[in-house]
Every structure is written in C-alpha cells, then in structure tokens.
Structure 1
Amino acid sequence: MTAPIKAGYFQTHDFSAKNQVVIDDKIYGKHAVSEPVLVELLQSPALSRLAGVHQHGISGLLGLTPKVTRLEHSVGAFLLVRLVGAALDEQVAALLHDISHTAMSHVVDFALSEPGEGSFHEVHKARFVKTTQIPAILTRHGFGDMKPIEEELYPLVEMPSPHLCADRLDYALRDIVGFGHVRLEDAQRILVSLKAMPSPTSQHRLLVLRDEQLALSLARGYMACDRDVWGNPAHGDLYTRTAQLMKSLIKGGCVREEELWTLSDEAFWSKMRQEVDHLGREAMNKLESERLPDETGLPLSRNAKVRTLDPDVCVPSGEVKPLSVLIPEYAVERRQYILARQALYTL
C-alpha cells in the first residue's frame, strides 16, 4: 500500500484507493474525495508542484515560520467551501485559486511586479494555466468555459478584505495555529461555527461565523500574525533582499522566468546560488546565517498590506453583522492597529 504523501505542515494526501483521494488535515480532519474532476486535479503535476512552494516565501524556506505550503492551503480553501455546501464549480475554483503561484511565493511580487500591478501570480495566471493540463482536465469534466479559473467569480472563495472568504480564512487558521496565537481545538471550533449565508448557492453568499467570541479570537489572532510575520518589517526586509537577487538574475538572463513555475523553492534557491556572483553569494550566505534581523527602526514597504479581519457574524435573530458592530471595542482596536502599521510605511 502506498504511504500517504506529505502535502505540507498540517496535511497529507493518500492516493492508495482507486478513484479516491483521502485528505488528512490536522485542522479539518479526514475527508475522502471521489468526484472525478477533483481527484484528477489533485493528482495533476500542476497542482502537486505547490507542495514545494512555501506559503511564507523566504521566511518558510529559511525555517523562520512553519513550512506551510501553497498546496495544503489550496486544498484547505477547497475543504472550507466544501464543508459549507458549495457547488462543485466553486470547490474547483477554491482548489485552483493559487495554481499559478511561483517559487518563493510573494517574494516574486517584490522582484518583478510593476508599481500598481496585482500579485505576479494573479497577473500571469492565464499564461501559466495554458501551459498545464488544467484546461484539458476542466474541459473533460464539463468546465470548458474555464470559469473556475476566475476565483473572483466565486464569493465563498474570494471576497474583499476585511470579510471572510475561503482563501483568507484558510491561511488565517493555519497561521494562527502555526504561530501559536490560537489553540488547534479553538481553530476547529471556528470551523464548526462557519456557515454560508443566506445559502451556499445564493448569488450574494457570504461566509459568516455563528459565535462572536470565536470571531473575536480569529480576528485578534489574524492581527497578531500580521504584526509578527505577514506585515513584519523584519520579514519584509528578507523579502526585499531576496527579491533584489531574484530580479537581477532573471533580468540578466541567468535564470529563466519560466523556472519560477518549474522549480521548488529549494531548487530555485540552489539555482540562484549557482548563478550569482561572489557578492550575490555573500548576500545569500548572510540571509541564511543572520536569519531574522531586528525589526526595530525598520520601515514597512508600501508593497506590504496591513491585514485585518472584521468577520461577519450571524446573530440569534438571523441578521448578519460585522464583528466591529457587535463589539465596538474591537472596532477601536482594529483602527488603532491599522494606524500603527501605516506609521511604519516608507515615505
């Protein structure tokens, strides 16, 4: 019998049964997936390669954060919409929402994205997908219009901040647990509290929580993750320094842009080490040896988002209200946090 494959920090995949994939996730539990389109996508090289891409880019590669992967996050987003009863096309959209992420994850945004552009993987998603088996798989299973590639068409998958959506909630749950801000059992309780309102197939569907205290725990944990890692100037410094090396190698032709999609983080880092000059090698050695710099006095790049949540909560009357309305103290706390982070921006 084939042993389960490690998909990431929290998750394994078992392909030993015919026409079925068993996903075992420490947060979501065990789930058997048998829908043909989902099984084929989970087995595809285009998706499975994301097991080699760290969710936290250079911070994950250097072991400064738990080695959560883009694959387990993509599968987690899929499991979230599946748990609340989403239609099959929305489940496919959730599974594929990060399909075009490159080696080093969002580090590439600092290296190659133009000012005002979206994330590199979003801008180049259609270009990448055309090079994969994904269009053939979708067409074979009745999705020839390629609609599930456009995750923004699916409200449970993508929703503007600070609302909940599967993308935002999955990485939040993994990191609030992985960074030690929320206990695993409390993250599981947040999942149990989750619901799609007014229904999982309504045109104006929305992910909500049914417990305001769990919503508060999630929102505070999310801000803590932003403070400590996502929007932390020290982690931003690592991203910027790594991006400078990546940009010089790609623009100079030493590394082909296509290798961003064919190499894992580790392989891409090795490729960089082979191609850099002695100054670049010193810079890479410094990144590896110095680890996380002191954030005191470091600015926050204007490319960095200030991430907060204001989860929608279903109250006993059936109404849906933002957490900040239900708990005004949280509204003040969130606003103060945003102002404090913005004060770190470079001029």
Structure 2
Amino acid sequence: MELENEEIKKYLQILSKEFPAFLIEYANVPEMQRLKGISMVSACEYTKLIPYKFFHTRYEHSLGVALIVWHFTKDKKQAIAGLYHDIATPSFSHVVDYLHGDYEKQESTEELTETIIKNSKDIMKLLNRDNIKLEEVIDYHIYPIADNDSPKLSADRLEYTLSDGLVTQDAFTLESIDRIYNNIKILKNEQGEDEIGFENLDIAEEYLRRSSIMWHLFCGNSENNMIMQFWTDILRKMAKENYITEEDLYLYSEKEIVDKIRNCPNKKIRDAFEIFSNSTQVGRSDTEVKDKYCISIKVKKRYTNPLVVCEDGQARRISDISQIGKELIEDIKHYEDSKYAYLNIDL
C-alpha cells in the first residue's frame, strides 16, 4: 500500500497489524484513488486559521475505517463497506452539504455511494470474483461496528477522531492512540447490538479528554465554521459565474479547484481567497458585523458517549459512571463559540 506520510503509516499499523491483500485491491480502484486529493480536516491546508501537521486525506480515513472494522470483525464484507463509505465524497467534503443547506446532519454526500460503486467496472469485477453482493457493501450503516447512531462509538467516529487529532490540535499522539486503541473491544450495548467500547474507565476518560479537543474544533469553533462557510460561498459564487460546476467537485482534486480560484478571471474572487488563505484568526461578535464577511451557522454536534466495562462485567455509558465523562459530554452539547465570526473580505 503506497502512502506518502510515515506517521499515517505507523498509525494504520496500530489499527491493524495485518493489512489484508483484498483491501489493497479494493482500495486501488480509480474511485478510491480520487479520495487522495480530498482533505479530511476541512481543507484547512489552504488557510492559516487552523494549524495542521500534514495533509491528511479522505483516502487515508477510509483505509483507517476499513482496518478498524477488519481488526474487530475479520469480516471481508464489513471491511469493504467501511472502505467505501466515503467513496462519494466530493472535494471539500461536507461543503457540498452546506451548499445544499444541510449544516446539521451532513449526509447529502452519502446518496451517491451506491451509484458510484454500481457504475464502477473495477469494483463490480472484484465483487463478482469474491461472490459479494452489491447490497452487502453499499451501506456500512447495516454493520454496527462500522457505523451506528450517534453518540455511540463506531469505527468511523473512532477513526476520524484519532487521525484528525493526530494531524491538528495535538489531541493525540501515536503513543496515546496505541494505548487507547488496545483497550477497545467489542461489547454489547443497551439494544443487545455489538458496539466497540473500553475495558478500563481510566483509558475511556483519557479518550474523552483528548477527543473533546477535537469536538470543540468541529462543533462550532468559529475558525472551523469560517473555513467551511467560506468554501461554500466562494464555490457557490464560482458556480454562479460559470467558472466551475458542482460536478467539478467530483472530477477535480481540492488543489486543482484552488488553482481555478487563484486564477479566476474575477478579481474579487481572487482577492477574497488571498485574504482568506493568509488569515490567522477570525473576528468574533455577538451581533452581526456590517461591511465584513460575517457568518453565523449552527453545525452538527460530533461527540461520543462510549461503553465501558464495569466491575460487575456489564457495559455502561461513560456518562453514567464517570463524572469526568459526563461533564465533557455536557460541555460539548452546550458549547457555542461566538454567535458571529467575520473576516475583512468582500465576497
């Protein structure tokens, strides 16, 4: 498996000591390779608003989810479903959700998953060879280890929390990921379903403390909100003036689209991006700021309330057995940054 970043390689080896050959085959199809050009962290690489260590891709995230599922289930179909869960993600990821007005659920990109897989000759050839039905891999929601209802812990939520926290905010290190990951096992939740959770409370609390750093970044932080809304508005303006189409988000990498913005014939668009890309912080206000690029949005709350094995052998939610866990979860539920965020941009 060819991966450029050594830290990501080491991270993926923590998730699964074994990298099964079939995953390499399924990951090498063009539809998956496209995800190498898509950022996992809000495309923050093109601005200075959120510090980051290296370019972390949607492709690497997909591999991570597949490896977590494989590690815990050793089930080929489930691992492939995990691998392909983001195959329909466009450049700038959830910006398409914002374009469609879906700020809180952020699910509009999932609608194309079946179409992309079904129309891929390479994927269908592999599935037919392995006697795997299309419906067994197009929806990872049917596999509770891969995905489940929030705020339960799943492979998907675990992966993006760990890897995003490795890339930004110094929330996780390889050492802490190794310690936390090796404390996770499959448990039974309140509904009698399989769900990954923790063997020890102290490790679960460490996971929540570190995770809460990421929750605050992605659940209302003004810099992150600004990045997502700016991409939405500048891409909408580019589309309105026929410089790009929404389809281009599925055809071009983020870098290629950024190049289109930087070379746009409209100077107003170029100047707005120049200011955005060099901004290190946003202005904050409780009231709308006139004559500025001022935004106010309500975004999806991302947090988990994982299971933990108690002394009696039963698995319970950390919020029910840990004051630390309860406080961290309640804090993010009610967390709001400033009502408005703004930059000195004319867009």
Q: TM-score surpassing 0.5?
A: yes
* Aligned CA distance change for structure 1 residues 218 and 327 (closer, same or farther; 3 Å): same
CA RMSD of aligned residues (A): 2.9
Give the conservation status (yes or no) of the 8 Å contact 2:58–2:86. yes
| Structure 2 unpaired stretches of 5+ | 287-293, 342-347
Give the conservation status (yes or no) of the 8 Å contact 1:10–1:27. no
Letter in 2 for 1:195: K
Match of residue 301 from structure 1 = 297
Match of residue 112 from structure 2 = 124
Shift of 1:96: 0.8
Match of 1:70 among 36, 58, 61: 58
Match of 1:95 among 60, 76, 83: 83
Q: Matched residues in 2 for 1:115 and 1:168: separation?
A: 18
Q: Matched residues in 1 for 2:143 and 2:63: separation?
A: 16
Match of residue 266 from structure 2 = 277
Match of residue 138 from structure 1 = 127
* Aligned CA distance change for structure 1 residues 30 and 231 (closer, same or farther; 3 Å): farther
Letter in 2 for 1:28: L
What is the CA deviation profile of residues 251-281 of structure 1, one whole-angstrom value per residue up to 9, with x for unaligned ones?
4432132221221111121123334511111
Letter in 2 for 1:214: I
Match of residue 317 from structure 2 = 322
Q: Matched residues in 1 for 2:62 and 2:334: separation?
A: 31
Match of 1:44 among 21, 29, 52: 29
What is the CA deviation profile of residues 187-223 of structure 1, one whole-angstrom value per residue up to 9, with x for unaligned ones?
1111111111249xx9821111111111111112222
Match of residue 16 from structure 1 = none
Q: Matched residues in 2 for 1:70 and 1:107: separation?
A: 14
Give the conservation status (yes or no) of the 8 Å contact 2:47–2:279. no
Equivalent runs, 1:206-217 vs 2, <5 Å: 206-217=195-206
Match of 2:12 among 25, 37, 45: 25
Match of residue 19 from structure 1 = none
Give the conservation status (yes or no) of the 8 Å contact 1:156–1:166. yes
What is the CA deviation profile of residues 118-168 of structure 1, one whole-angstrom value per residue up to 9, with x for unaligned ones?
433113323433443333432332123332111111111111111110000
TM-score for the superposition, normalised by structure 1: 0.84
Q: Tell which has more relative contact order, 1 or 2 (C-alpha 8 A, sep 6+).
A: 2
Match of residue 260 from structure 1 = 249
* Aligned CA distance change for structure 1 residues 216 and 209 (closer, same or farther; 3 Å): same
Q: Matched residues in 2 for 1:172 and 1:203: separation?
A: 25
Q: Secondary structure at the match of 2:245?
A: coil
TM-score for the superposition, normalised by structure 2: 0.84
- Greater Cα shift, 280-289 or 141-150: 141-150
Q: Matched residues in 2 for 1:71 and 1:55: separation?
A: 9
Give the conservation status (yes or no) of the 8 Å contact 1:9–1:68. no
* Aligned CA distance change for structure 1 residues 116 and 221 (closer, same or farther; 3 Å): closer
Match of 1:231 among 209, 220, 244: 220
Give the conservation status (yes or no) of the 8 Å contact 2:88–2:113. yes
Report the number of matched residues: 328
Q: Secondary structure at the match of 1:6?
A: coil
Give the conservation status (yes or no) of the 8 Å contact 1:151–1:158. yes
* Aligned CA distance change for structure 1 residues 84 and 295 (closer, same or farther; 3 Å): farther
Match of residue 11 from structure 1 = 8
Q: Matched residues in 1 for 2:103 and 2:42: separation?
A: 20
| Structure 1 unpaired stretches of 5+ | 13-22
Match of residue 184 from structure 2 = 194
Letter in 1 for 2:297: S
**Pair 1:84 & 2:81 matched:** no
Q: Matched residues in 2 for 1:246 and 1:173: separation?
A: 29
Letter in 1 for 2:246: E
Q: Matched residues in 2 for 1:139 and 1:274: separation?
A: 44
Letter in 2 for 1:82: W
Letter in 2 for 1:324: S
